[in-house]
Structures are given as C-alpha cells and as structure tokens.
C-alpha cells in the first residue's frame, strides 16, 4: 500500500502538470514537430515521476539500488509506450484539424522515413521486452533456488512463475497491439485524405490541396501532390487564356469571303497550336480592285499570333490611305522592321490584286510561297513567283509588282503557306506541289470551297497519324 501511494502521488502530479507543459513545449511549436515533442514530453514526465519515487523509497525506506533500477526501467517502458500512443494521438488530432480547417503547410524540409521510424520503434520495443522478461526470469530463478525442495512447493512455484511471466507478456502485448491500432488509424487518415483529393483532381476539381501533416513519406507525397495541383491550376489558366486567344484570333480572320460578280473565293486557316502566325484577308482597294493577302509569321504559337495581329492592324490601316499596293507593302515593312528587326522575327506575305475589268492579276511576293495559277483552257500550271524579301528584315525596302494578263474563265488561283507543301506523313515524305496540282486538276469544275476542302482533305489523308507541325492557310480564287 505504501509503495502504491508513493507511485500514485508523483504520477498524479505530472498528470496535473502535463497540460501546462503541453501548452508551452508543444502547442507553441510548428504542428509538424508536435508529435515528436509529445513523445519526448510524456517519456520525460514518466521518468521524472519514477526518479522521484526511487529517491523517496531509497531515502525513507532504504530500498536497495537494484530495486530503484527496476522501477526506473518500468517507468521507461511505461513512458515509451505511453509517449508513442500520445504522439500518435497528437498526430491524429493535427490531421483532423488541418483537413477540417483546410489549413496548408509547406512540405517537410527533412524526411523522417517511415521505415526508419518503424525500425527504431521495433528495436526499442524488443529491447524493453527482453530486459523486462530477463529481469523477471532472473528474479524467479533466484527465488526458486531458495524455496523448499518438495514436489508440491516446486509445482506451486512453477505455476506462480508462469502466471507472472504470462501477466508481463500480456501487458506488453496489449501495449504493442494498442500502438499498432493507433498507428493504423493515422495511416488510414493520411491515405483517405490523399485519395480524396486525388479523386477530385481526377474529376477536374482542383480546388483542394492535401494537408501536409507529417514529415514522413506521406508528407512528401502530399507536398508533391500539392505542387502538381498548383501546376495543373496554372496550366488550366494558360489553356483558358490560350482558348480565349484562339477565339480572338479566329475573329480576326474573315467571317466570309467577299461576294463579287465573276469571282468565287474561299479561305481557311488551321493552326497546329491554339494560336498561330498564319493570316489571310480580303480588301476592297481604293482603285476598285480586290486585294487578297496570305501571310506567314516565322515559327508559330503566342508570339507569332501577336506579330500576326500587329501586321493585320498595320495592313488594314495602310490599305485605306495608300492607292498603290507597293506603297502599302513598303509602309507595313517599315513599321514592322522598327518593331521586330532586333528580335530576328519576320513575316512572309503574298499580296494578290485582282483587276476584273481587264481580266488581269497583279501580285507582290514578300518572301512568300509562290501562288499557283491553273489555266483550265490549256491544262497548265504556272507559279506566280518573283523577287521580294520578307517583311520586318530591312527597313528601307521597295517591292516589285508583277502582272499576268488574260486570266481565262474557269481558271483558279491558289495562295497558301508552306505548311501545306511541306507537310509530312509518317514516313517523312512531303506533300509537295504535284499532289496539290493533281487535286486542283481533278476538282477544277467544282466551287472554290469544294476545291479548298479537297486539298485539305487530301492533305489530312496523306498525313495519316503524323502530327501537324506547322500552321496551314489556303485561299482559292476561281474566275467564273
């Protein structure tokens, strides 16, 4: 009874002091470090209480040193299992609170591997169990040596020893099973939190992040998962912006071709990315003629789309004030070169001017692919070529206008970008001019729209599963 009272009083005292110590040494520190500090606090308190009991019993009751060591060992075992259980409970509380409040913490800067923690706990448990059982068995052996050597007394002693050993093993087993159950609860919570967020991500919901509550593999995985979600959010924002840019750029292209007596016109642009640098447009020139423009910015993507938008604005502004197509091209080139000359960017352009009154066509070729004129009267193809440098390379540049007279009815002019001719299939073969000529010849009796669609369809069949590596723009003009 005196021994029980001497144990009860200090342990009751540390139970009362535990709450203030928790507030000072645990709750005021980062959450990710609190379970570890909880373990050390409870273990230290148990050892402190045991030390007080040993000192008291040694000074008052003259207990031997071996008895004090045994008591301290018992306190260490209790403190170890109690501290681990309380640390796991603290970790569980943090997991619940963090997820409920949607609090976010940075990933752990240092990894404490679950394997290493498991190994340390298992090794310590085995050590404590071995020491306790060793002391019990050693004491019982000494006791058995001193008892009366009769059959009945030996049998009773054996039974007593077995009960004692089984009792100690049962207590230790209950403590170990309790730790396993407690740790399993924490693993289940961490797993459920991770999978719950990942399930939302798989459904397109990027509003949640995984709480980082441990400094083990689960904490690292949660940190990388959150980084992935942030990256997906950023990518989604970019895709949304690109989609908006795509819509804006498509709105900059003509809604429909002009309707003019004697002409059938169709045009299309297909970008390999959300945005591109290809451009086509139609203009009513001051002299009454029709202007058709097809242009191609070097490279493609967002930067090419911005340059394309700039050229479109310059071109539309110059068309309203200049009467000569050569002056229009020179002014656009001058303004563009001032903006992009140092960047190395440029833009090729083919400007086609149709003069119906004289059945003539004029063109300026600024480094662009030559247009193709198919004359159905004699079944011949002619390249509308000529000299001319790309826009934006040299500031002071004069362009030469070329003319073809005697445009016969039924003939077709095709103006496109190099994305058509240079398109490749899975074998690395290029589409080339011959396939374009053959498609134009087979569909010459069709409308401009049907001719254009036939070229695009034949190109798609030719490419197969090969990716589109460049923007494609095509304008077909047919003289009725």
- Highest-scoring range by mean pLDDT, 41-45, 100-104, 164-168: 41-45
**pLDDT tens for residues 40-64?**
999 999 999 999 988 888 888 888 8
Looking at the structure, tell me whether residues 330 and 394 fall in a common domain: yes
In terms of domains, do 219 and 259 share one? no
Is position 362 within any domain? yes
Mean of pLDDT values over 330-357: 89
Statement to judge: residues 301 and 152 lie in one domain: no
Residue at which a domain ends, from 176, 201, 233: 233
Specify whether the CB–CB gap between 453 and 434 falls below 8 A: no
For residue 342, tell me if it sits in a domain. yes
pLDDT at 335 over 80: yes
Distance separating the N- and C-terminal Cα atoms of the chain: 119
**If you average pLDDT over residues 78-86, what whole number do you get?**
92
User: Is residue 287 located within the same domain as residue 414?
Assistant: yes
179 shares its domain with 227: yes
* 267 Cβ contact partners less than 8 Å away, ≥ 6 residues apart: 253, 254, 257, 280, 282, 452, 473, 474, 475, 476
| Sign of torsion over alpha carbons 79, 80, 86, 90 | positive
Rounded Cα distance, 398 and 375, in Å: 30
Q: Are 418 and 432 in contact (CB under 8 A)?
A: no
Picking from 32-46, 217-231, 438-452, which range would have the lowest pLDDT averaged per residue? 217-231
Question: Which is higher by pLDDT, 158 or 419?
Answer: 419
User: Are both 258 and 229 inside the same structural domain?
Assistant: no
| Within a domain: 240 | no
pLDDT of 473 above 80? yes
Domain count, the chain: 2
Lowest mean pLDDT among 48-52, 100-104, 277-281: 100-104
SS3 per-residue string spanning 277-307: CEEEEEEECCCCCEEEEEEEECCCCHHHHHH
- Parent domain of 106: 2-233
The answer to whether residue 103 scores a pLDDT higher than 70 is: no
User: Could you tell me which residues are beta bridge partners of residue 475?
Assistant: 267, 415
Q: Let me know if residue 238 belongs to a domain.
A: no
In the block, which residue shows the tokens 């301290």? 72
Closest residue by Cα to residue 212 from 232, 200, 227? 227
Which three-class secondary structure state does DSSP give residue 254?
coil
Predicted pLDDT at 144: 65
Is residue 31 classed exposed, middle or buried when 0-12, 13-18 and 19+ CB atoms within 10 A define those classes? buried
d(CA 402, CA 390): 16
Query: Same domain for 389 and 424?
Result: yes
Which has the higher per-residue pLDDT, 371 or 213?
Answer: 371
Q: Are residues 171 and 314 in the same domain?
A: no
Q: Which residue has the higher pLDDT, 143 or 307?
A: 307
d(CA 192, CA 99): 11
Structural contact between residues 25 and 41, judged by C-beta atoms closer than 8 angstroms: yes
The model's confidence at residue 296, banded by pLDDT at 50, 70 and 90, is very high
């Amino acid at each position: 009874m005196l021994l029980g009272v001497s144990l009860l009083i200090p342990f009751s005292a540390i139970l009362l002091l535990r709450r203030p110590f928790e507030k000072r040494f645990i709750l005021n520190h980062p959450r990710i470090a609190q379970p570890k500090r909880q373990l050390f606090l409870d273990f230290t308190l148990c050892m402190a209480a045991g030390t007080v009991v040993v000192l008291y019993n040694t000074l008052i009751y003259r207990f031997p040193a071996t008895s004090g060591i045994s008591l301290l060992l018992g306190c260490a075992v209790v403190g170890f299992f109690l501290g681990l259980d309380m640390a796991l409970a603290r970790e569980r509380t943090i997991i619940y609170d963090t997820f409920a409040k949607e609090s976010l913490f940075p990933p752990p800067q240092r990894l404490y591997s679950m394997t290493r923690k498991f190994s340390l706990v298992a090794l310590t448990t085995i050590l404590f169990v071995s020491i306790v059982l060793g002391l019990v068995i050693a004491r019982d052996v000494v006791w058995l040596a001193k008892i009366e050597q009769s059959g009945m007394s030996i049998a009773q002693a054996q039974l007593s020893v077995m009960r004692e050993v089984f009792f100690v093993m049962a207590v230790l087993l209950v403590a170990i099973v309790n730790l396993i159950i407690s740790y399993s609860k924490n693993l289940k919570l961490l797993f459920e939190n991770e999978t719950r967020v990942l399930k939302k991500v798989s459904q397109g919901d990027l509003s949640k992040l995984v709480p980082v509550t441990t400094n083990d593999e689960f904490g690292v995985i949660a940190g990388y998962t959150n980084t992935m979600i942030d990256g997906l959010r950023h990518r989604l924002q970019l895709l949304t912006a690109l989609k908006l840019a795509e819509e804006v750029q498509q709105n900059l292209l003509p809604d429909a071709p002009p309707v003019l007596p004697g002409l059938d016109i169709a045009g299309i642009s297909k970008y390999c990315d959300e945005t591109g640098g290809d451009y086509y447009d139609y203009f009513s020139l001051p002299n009454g003629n029709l202007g058709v423009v097809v242009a191609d910015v070097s490279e493609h993507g967002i930067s090419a789309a911005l340059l394309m938008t700039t050229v479109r604005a310059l071109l539309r502004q110059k068309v309203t004030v200049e009467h000569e197509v050569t002056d229009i091209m020179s002014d656009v080139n001058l303004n563009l070169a001032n903006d992009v000359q140092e960047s190395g960017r440029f833009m090729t352009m083919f400007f086609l001017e149709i003069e119906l009154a004289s059945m003539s066509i004029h063109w300026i070729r600024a480094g662009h692919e030559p247009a193709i004129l198919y004359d159905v009267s004699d079944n011949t193809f002619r390249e509308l070529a000529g000299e001319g440098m790309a826009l934006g390379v040299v500031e002071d540049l004069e362009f030469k206008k070329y003319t073809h007279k005697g445009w016969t009815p039924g003939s077709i002019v095709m103006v496109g970008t190099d994305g058509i001719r240079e398109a490749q299939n899975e074998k690395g073969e290029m589409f080339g001019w011959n396939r374009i000529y053959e498609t134009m010849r087979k569909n010459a009796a069709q409308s401009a729209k049907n001719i254009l669609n036939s070229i695009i369809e034949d190109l798609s069949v030719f490419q197969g599963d090969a990716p589109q590596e460049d923007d494609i723009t095509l304008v077909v003009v047919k003289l009725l």
